A and B are shown apart, each in its own frame.
Chain A
Amino acid sequence: MRIFIVRRILYAFLTVIGGTLVIFALSRMSGDPRVLFMDDYSVIDAEVWDRLGERFHLDDPVPVQYGYWVWDVMRGEFGDSIASQRPVEEVIYPRLWNSIQLGAVAWALGTLVGVPLGVLSAVKRGQFIDYVARAFALFGQSLPSFWVAIMAILIFSGTLGWLPSAGKGEGFAVRHFVLPAIVLGWLPAAGYLRLTRSSMLEVLDSEYVKFARSKGVGTSKVLWKHTFRNALLSPLTFSALLLLGFVTGTTVAETVFAWPGLGRLAVSSVFGNDFPVLSAIMLLLVVLYAVVVLSLDLLYAVVDPRIRYS
């Protein structure tokens, strides 16, 4: 078990190091990182140019530059945002909080809809409710989220005028959350549904469930105690993949709904050549992913002892 934990922590570290390598490579892809700091029309005087060169240690060999960059990043010094001329942390934190709020609501929505529907669809297999649930999942996985977002705006804020189409509102404005959370939560709901369903069907077909049934254990006890508990493991694994889908989903949902979060900030940083902000966001996401995968692995090992030795 100890070897397993050490190994997993090492993996997480390697993932983060790999991530820094790629992000650094992206920043040097255009040859001179200073180019990323300007658009086609900006004018930089020689003094600033030289100062930036010194800031990035451009006279040193590339591996040394990487070393300096990692050192800066480890101390939390991402530099200043190009667009707003403020420290990157200051720019990111409020946005991060907004994204977490939206993400949490959407994730809760996805889980609360997806998992129960998956159970229901497995239990009522081949019946009407099963078709409805699977159609819901199919649509969620096939509809482009930006299109759903636009159509939701058309219907619910344009035609019906029920909900706001953009922005976050003051404080925790529920009305502003509805549309973005549904758009963002549909895909995870679909994933959870399909996975819960197939996993439930598998367990329902297993010997021990059949045995429990033949022994005369009540239906609801078989379902919740014997089946559901064991079927829950595979949707759990999905959570790491879910996070990846979330990053794309948030980027799109925040862009369409003008939500002041990280995803929209990332897009505007790309088009505004704000590389310090962008690299900080990417690194944050890499670390987040590594941590989530690590904790899921450990959680898994606690729940299912067989995994520790594979």
Chain B
Amino acid sequence: MKVSKTTAFDSADTSPLRGTAAGIASWPKKTFFIIRRWPVIPGMVLAALVICALFAPWLSPHDPYKNTLKDRLVPPFWNDGGQAKYLLGTDQIGRDILSRIIHGARVSAVVMSIAVSVGVTIGTILGMSAGYFGRHVDEAIMRIVDTWAALPFIMVALVVVLVLGQSYGVLVGLLALLSWPGAVRLVRAEVLSLRTRDYVSMAKVAGASTPRILFKHVLPSVWNVVLVTASLQMGGIILVEATLSFLGAGIPAPTPAWGAMTSDGKNYVNDAYWVAFFPGMAIFMVVMAGNFLGDWLRDRMDPTIRQIN
């Protein structure tokens, strides 16, 4: 193995030579070292997402809902005919794209954080039960996981949205449903190996109640896995949210959501690439940041989990 050529991807490598580079290097080298070692860029992207979501009304230069029909399809400022007023241009009814992207961060951030936390919490509880109790409980939970995995999620989601209507609640609920099976599988596998450990048996012999064993003794050991699952889910959930909103089953229309904005731009793409291009880039950056962070956390916390997500 070539030690000098390890990268951020391979943070799991704990070669003794790694730490020394920072000590003797000059500051540009040091900076590069930190960027390779820590997820600085993904962290910044996710921080930007959170800041945009929290402070959208103060950050965005225009009202994301206000259409100015005389300024329809204005290109970004660096293109011919672009105006400095609209940095990333305007859409087909003259709304500022940058403002809409900043506001769209709200939908993505809110939906992603609630869906992932609800889904992973449920998944963790079920995964712990399946792994710890085994036998019938395990069978029952795993069969439900299998069935759920077999269903074409995107179609189920479209039907549910059609029947129940488009709203935050429905969308978050659906995406939470998407994220729990993954957590069940990973947590269950971890608990299966923990169940027979001495300290768990000891707790049992000492007379600890089952909930106490699960929450005091087992849960702390699966925290790593839970965290890794949650971060690996982020990118996927944002992508599915964007896909649903692209297909017309996301948050209802005037609210800016990145997927729906890309969909709006679809019909104008040959004359006005920017309407579809920038929202898609926003999705891409957040998803990539999530994937990077997830990979990094997984490698750092538990190199033995080699799941593809």
Contacts and interface: CB of A to CB of B under 8 A. Distances in A.
A112 interface: no
Contact of B243 (A16, A131, A248): A248
B188 to A, nearest CB: 14
A273 B158 CA distance: 11
B239 A144 contact: yes
Given A144-B259, A270-B155, A15 B277 contact: no
Given A147-B283, A282-B156, A18 B147 contact: yes
Nearest to A238: B308
A247 B2 contact: no
Contact of A270 (B150, B153, B158, B240): B158
Interface residues of B, number: 54
A290 B148 CA distance: 11
Contact of A126 (B7, B144, B149, B246): B7
A126 B5 contact: yes
Contacts of A131: 7
Contacts of A119: none
B215 interface: no
A109 interface: no
B266 A150 contact: yes
B150 A146 contact: no
A22 B262 contact: no
Contacts of B257: none
Nearest to B154: A248
Nearest to A190: B308
Main DSSP-derived SS at the B contact region: helix
Interface string A15-43: 11011001100100110000010000000
A26 B269 contact: no
A138 interface: yes
Interface string A55-89: 00000000000000000000000000000000000
A11 interface: yes
Given A147-B280, A270-B162, A286 B150 contact: yes
A194 B306 CA distance: 10
B14 to A, nearest CB: 14
A101 interface: no
Contact of A271 (B144, B147, B239, B248): B248
A191 interface: yes
A4 interface: no
A144 B243 contact: yes
Interface in A193-238: 194-195, 198-199, 202, 234, 238
Contacts of B158: 266-267, 270
Interface stretch (B15-23, B50-58, B284-292): B284-292
Interface of A: 11, 14-16, 18-19, 22-23, 26, 29-30, 36, 125-127, 131, 134, 138-139, 141-147, 150-151, 153-154, 158, 191, 194-195, 198-199, 202, 234, 238, 241, 244, 247-248, 251-252, 255-256, 266-267, 270-271, 273, 278, 281-282, 285-286, 289-290, 293
8 pairs of A and B residues whose beta carbons are closest in the complex? A18-B147, A147-B280, A126-B5, A142-B288, A289-B150, A270-B158, A158-B270, A142-B287
